[in-house]
Chain A
């Protein structure tokens, strides 16, 4: 019963490097989300997806891209990492609209950009 799995758990990048964070869920959830968590800022939505093949911008989408080629996977990409993207990234999913079913979160990816 894995739930939401994020890889990697930790990563250090140099400014300008690129990387992809992977989120996988085995609960057949339609909706998936990427958040970042920063001290004093709460969790902020980066991008989300309401189904396979769909993506939409959240509150802080700049500098990130996403893809949802398969229902169970949601990828977050950083094309050219910046120190401002140092954060803890969380993936979440919900069966349908989170308003009705609430969220299930992964354990997070701690990213440092130097």
Chain B
């Protein structure tokens, strides 16, 4: 059974810092991995989708990497801003379309 772990559960940083969020998974037979942002009381907004054949994806200040063999993905946020404060979730999806979500990392960026 696939298990997805996101550590740390919560992170607080001062504005302007670069930071890395981690996502680990136990079964490397994944088809893709998707990073989401969730604001309090809101739905999930897709940030980046990485296919298993890719090593990384970039969107603005965000960069997501994927290492299937080690079962890890990282989400790098450059020059963090208070507006980046949210919970970040990763989801791994296998070839049959079955997805497993992590519990998320709650990020607080202090002005």
Residues of A within 8 A of B (CB): 4, 6, 31, 40-43, 45, 90, 92, 97-108, 110
Contacts and interface: CB of A to CB of B under 8 A. Distances in A.
Contact of B45 (A43, A100, A105, A110): A105
Contact of A98 (B41, B43, B99): B99
A103 B42 contact: no
B31 A108 contact: no
B91 interface: yes
Interface residues of B, number: 27
B97 A43 contact: no
Given A43-B101, A99-B31, A90 B43 contact: yes
12 contacts: A40-B103, A41-B103, A42-B89, A43-B91, A98-B93, A99-B32, A99-B95, A99-B96, A102-B93, A103-B44, A105-B45, A106-B43
A6 B43 CA distance: 10
A59 B49 CA distance: 23
Given A42-B103, A108-B42, 7 more contacts: A43-B89, A97-B97, A99-B32, A103-B34, A103-B91, A106-B43, A107-B43
The prevalent SS among residues of B at the interface is strand
B36 A105 contact: yes
Interface of B: 4, 31-32, 34, 36, 41-46, 49, 51, 89, 91, 93-104
Which of A40, A100, A101, A104 counts the most B-chain CB atoms under 10 A from its CB?
Answer: A100
Given A40-B103, A42-B101, A105-B36, A99 B93 contact: yes
A98 B95 CA distance: 9
A57 to B, nearest CB: 12
